[in-house]
Structure 1
Amino acid sequence: MNLYLPVERWQSRTTFVFALAMAAVGLGNLWRFPWLMGEHGGAPFFFSYLLCLFFIAVPLLVAEVVLGSHGRGSPFLTLSWAADVSGRSRLWLTVALLSCLAGFLLLVSYLLIAGWSLSYAYQLQLGGFAAISLPGAAEVLASKLSASAGLMRWQLLAAVLLAVAVAVGVRKGIGLFVWIAIPLMMFLLGVLISFSVEFGDLGAAGAYLFAWQPLDFDRGSFMAALGHALYTLCIGVAVGMSYGAYAPHKLPIVRSVITVAIFDVVVAVAAGVAIFPLLFANNLMPAQGFGLLFVSVPYAFGNMPFGDLYGALFFLTVTLIALGTAVALLEPIVSVLEQQFRVRRVLAAISVTAVAFLLSVYATVDLASAAPGEGFLLWLDGVTSEWLIPAAVLLLALFVGWRMPRELLRRELAREPDILFSLWYFLIRFVAVPVIAFAWLWLSLVP
């Protein structure tokens, strides 16, 4: 019997789905997915993304949740317990080590973006972007970076909110947060879509996002679809293991994860409809990353009727999404400190958040002086996306698919029909492992 049972669990399947969905939504759906669709052929990319999402990413997330529901502890205790009962070496704990490290590095970026978004929401509602020019919007960002103390104060506020949500506990903290955040996020997205449909260029956005342009789709497009499918479900950062440890008994894991994936697709498409019509209405070329979020979007809202109000609501939505993912990234590390090293949850949450906040402050200062294509944030992104996450995902698929006994996995997925379990087992062994290995090799060798 596993002796490392967590004190708390989700009160219901819905809370588990909400928590995993809030983690999965992520900022990639706001500033990356719509741009990827438009740049890689529209509909061909979208259908490739769906294939990668449901036949590779979903089975991998199921594997993470299965480990968590089996181990019922922190990622390290979960992997330790799974290795012992499977008769395997404890070197497989490398999966937990890589995952927690990748999650922490990503946490720095999400904390930075949450703080910056609060700053932009405040400035927009004061009319700070009214009738601004595009160079003027870029100048606002440059001035914020040159006088970065203001941004740091907002980052500190975001850090406090994050630490409180995790420190309070699984039910009263994270559980309550996701029950507030999911309905609020969907309401805000609905408001923003209504505004975008009324004042934006919906036709141009639809032609960009959903056009059938197979000539724009190539092998690189498929790799982009695969990468985003893995990134959007927070695979390889121990979130599935951590949240799976708190799952109710006899949870239909596969069907719950499929629900999360469907929700993620809906939000991704909704984000594109909420943002891109406004960009086209202002004759802006689609972009991704910081240029889209902190230059193009404020400029678009600043030159729209009622743009101050709706722009502020947009950046509040971004803050909510960033904090939701940050909570999910912080929880596995806090659970390791709490269960492995017996650190009190409150102290663990505050300590890890404080370190992430200091690194986010350094990243903000670094952005003011870094040359284009360089800097601390880009280094973090490169280390996590090119090395830590691919290694963690590949080892996860190998361990669950090839090292854990089939009968043990079947017990954890007892609520699923035989045909669904067999399909998942086939996909994790014979699809996920070779595709992830090939993708990592391709990423490493192709410039």
Structure 2
Amino acid sequence: MRESFGSRFGFIMAAAGAAVGLGNIWGFPTQAASNGGGAFLLAYLALVMLLAFPMLVMEVAIGRHGQANPVDSVRALGRRSGQRRLAGMIGYAGMMVPSLVLTFYAIVAGWLLAFLAATVTRMLGWQAATDWLQAFGLWRNIIGTLVFYLLTILVVQAGVRAGIERWSARLMPALFVLFLLLFGYILTQQGAAEGLRHYLVPDFSKVMEPSLLISAMGQAFFSLTIGGCSMLMYGSYLSKKESIPATAFQVTLIDTGVALLAGLVILPAMFVAMHNGVTIFADDGSLLSSDTLVFVVLPALFETMGPVGGWMSLVFFVLMGIAALTSSISMLEVPVSYSTERFKTSRPAMSWLLGLGLALFSLVICLNFGALFGFVIRLATQYTQPLVALGFCLLGGWMWGRARLFQELVQGTPALAESLFWRIWPWYIRFVCPLLVLLVIWHSL
């Protein structure tokens, strides 16, 4: 019998965990800092609702309708053999996205684990170990990557309820608690108020700048892993009694809330660091070290805080590790689900086999970092993921058909036919969302 989530709370925590990752905690604050703070925040909030939420509803609906892995779920949308073949091709392309993302994501997560360990060794006075853990080196990267894969495999092999749902329901609340602890402490530091103003008070003259809007659109799109198959996969485990629009809206709120909290912590922390002599912005106002903010600027801030800084650093990197893990388990779940259903093999066996296979690919990237790391990121996030999202949009909006789509959504939402959502959303997903995704693709290229 195919597993399913035991409760709506379990699904929401797992789906939110899949969406909440380094893009929220690392990417969103740096994008906000680079694009006018409050102006970017305002545009991001609008575009989450205009692009990400409508497409999230579609992905979850496709998954719940198919009750299967991404390939078989999208095939179920077709009425004729040619349609099913086309849908299957898009499904296979979609399965590539989380697998490719995990191969570089695990490397970055391994860096986070290394910095977490470095915080502990610094507190213990082990300077040589601290220096090794913080220095960019081959063996540090390999060990960190393998440890992160081990954590991911252990959760996924336990199953949907005992592994993914159980740990997501524990880790996501812990994420919020840690964020609130950091936020409360950062607010007591000099310079934090200036960072809050930069983040929360928009310069309305910048809100409609094309470059800012495109950046906010891309961040909203990738924040909810649209086209990444994780939401489609988790949707296939969702009960028919649950309302898809309401549940997707709750996931969107949690994901956006984490991004907002990350901004409330990191932007004030950046201005606190500036107050303590750490250089953040260039003379032209651009953000320095945006790619290494988490590994350079924030550790420099923690070091200026004395003994308390060590504990703040520990809390921060535990938080980052949680965010990375809740995303990675959803990435590995996609190929594991496909393999167990297609080949009738055990979940633990496929979790270890596929997890170790992807780990091997990550090690190849580590050994050829300069040539492969950036290439794999571009292949997964700039090319494949947006095209898959466009494919899901077209399959769900056009191939599935309005009547069959209604039959799926009305389960768990009896009043759907009379709602404003149903009057707008089917047309919106057919015409507006594909155009917005094409803008994301154009910007990525």
The alignment's TM-score, normalised by the length of structure 1, stands at 0.89
Which piece of structure 1 moves more, 69-78 or 209-218? 209-218
Q: In the alignment, which residue of structure 2 is the partner of 1:208?
A: 198
Report if the CA contact (8 A) 1:200-1:277 is conserved. Answer: no
Q: 1:12 to 1:378 in 2, by over 3 A?
A: same
> What is the correspondence of 1:140-151 to structure 2 with a 5 Å cutoff?
140=131, 144-146=135-137, 148-151=138-141
Report if the CA contact (8 A) 1:41-1:215 is conserved. Answer: no
Q: In the alignment, which residue of structure 2 is the partner of 1:160?
A: 150
Report if the CA contact (8 A) 1:56-1:427 is conserved. Answer: no
Question: 1:124 and 2:119 equivalent?
Answer: yes
Question: How far is 1:250 from its partner?
Answer: 2.0
Aligned residue among 12, 20, 45 for 2:15? 20
Q: In the alignment, which residue of structure 2 is the partner of 1:235?
A: 226
Identical positions, percent:
25
Question: 1:88 and 2:83 equivalent?
Answer: yes
Question: 1:178 and 2:168 equivalent?
Answer: yes
Q: In the alignment, which residue of structure 2 is the partner of 1:395?
A: 391
Q: 1:290 to 1:219 in 2, by over 3 A?
A: closer
> What is the correspondence of 1:370-389 to structure 2 with a 5 Å cutoff?
370=370, 375-389=371-385
**Residues 257-295 of structure 1: per-residue CA shift (max 9 Å, x gap):** 111111112111111222222222221315565411111
Q: In the alignment, which residue of structure 2 is the partner of 1:410?
A: 406
Report if the CA contact (8 A) 1:10-1:171 is conserved. Answer: yes
Paired residues, number = 426
- Counterpart of 2:66, as a letter, is G
> What is the correspondence of 1:285-324 to structure 2 with a 5 Å cutoff?
285=280, 286-287=287-288, 290-305=291-306, 306-324=308-326
Give the secondary structure class of the aligned counterpart of 2:3: coil
Structure 2 CA distance for aligned equivalents of residues 203 and 129 of structure 1: 33
Report if the CA contact (8 A) 1:125-1:311 is conserved. Answer: no
Q: 1:143 to 1:316 in 2, by over 3 A?
A: closer
Structure 2 CA distance for aligned equivalents of residues 230 and 238 of structure 1: 13
Which piece of structure 1 moves more, 237-246 or 110-119? 110-119
Structure 1 CA distance for aligned equivalents of residues 330 and 352 of structure 2: 15
Report if the CA contact (8 A) 1:15-1:179 is conserved. Answer: yes
Question: How far is 1:155 from its partner?
Answer: 2.2
- Counterpart of 1:332, as a letter, is V
Give the secondary structure class of the aligned counterpart of 1:246: coil
Q: 1:288 to 1:21 in 2, by over 3 A?
A: farther
Give the secondary structure class of the aligned counterpart of 1:32: helix
Which piece of structure 1 moves more, 238-247 or 408-417? 408-417
Q: Give the RMSD, CA atoms, in angstroms.
A: 2.4
- Counterpart of 1:36, as a letter, is Q
- Counterpart of 2:326, as a letter, is G
Aligned residue among 242, 245, 268 for 2:236? 245
Give the secondary structure class of the aligned counterpart of 2:135: helix
Q: 1:141 to 1:47 in 2, by over 3 A?
A: farther
Q: In the alignment, which residue of structure 1 is the partner of 2:283?
A: none
Question: 1:192 and 2:195 equivalent?
Answer: no
Q: In the alignment, which residue of structure 1 is the partner of 2:351?
A: 349
Q: In the alignment, which residue of structure 2 is the partner of 1:3?
A: none
List alignment gaps of at least 5 residues for structure 1. Answer: 1-5, 133-138
**Residues 346-389 of structure 1: per-residue CA shift (max 9 Å, x gap):** 1211122112222333333444xx3xxxx422111211222101
Report if the CA contact (8 A) 1:77-1:340 is conserved. Answer: no
**Residues 222-254 of structure 1: per-residue CA shift (max 9 Å, x gap):** 111111111010111111111011001221111
Q: 1:126 to 1:220 in 2, by over 3 A?
A: same
> What is the correspondence of 1:43-122 to structure 2 with a 5 Å cutoff?
43-84=38-79, 88-122=83-117
Report if the CA contact (8 A) 1:111-1:356 is conserved. Answer: no
Report if the CA contact (8 A) 2:117-2:133 is conserved. Answer: no
List alignment gaps of at least 5 residues for structure 2. Answer: 281-286
- Counterpart of 1:196, as a letter, is I
Structure 2 CA distance for aligned equivalents of residues 288 and 263 of structure 1: 28
Q: In the alignment, which residue of structure 1 is the partner of 2:31?
A: 36
**Residues 193-216 of structure 1: per-residue CA shift (max 9 Å, x gap):** 112112352222123223323454
Q: 1:344 to 1:81 in 2, by over 3 A?
A: same
Give the secondary structure class of the aligned counterpart of 2:36: coil
Would you identify which runs of 4 or more consecutive aligned residues in structure 1 move more than 3 Å? 84-87, 139-143, 214-217, 286-290, 362-367, 441-444
Structure 2 CA distance for aligned equivalents of residues 299 and 223 of structure 1: 31
**Residues 65-120 of structure 1: per-residue CA shift (max 9 Å, x gap):** 11111010111111122224898342111221121111111112221222221211
> What is the correspondence of 1:352-363 to structure 2 with a 5 Å cutoff?
352-363=354-365
Aligned residue among 327, 330, 334 for 2:329? 327
Structure 1 CA distance for aligned equivalents of residues 377 and 46 of structure 2: 25
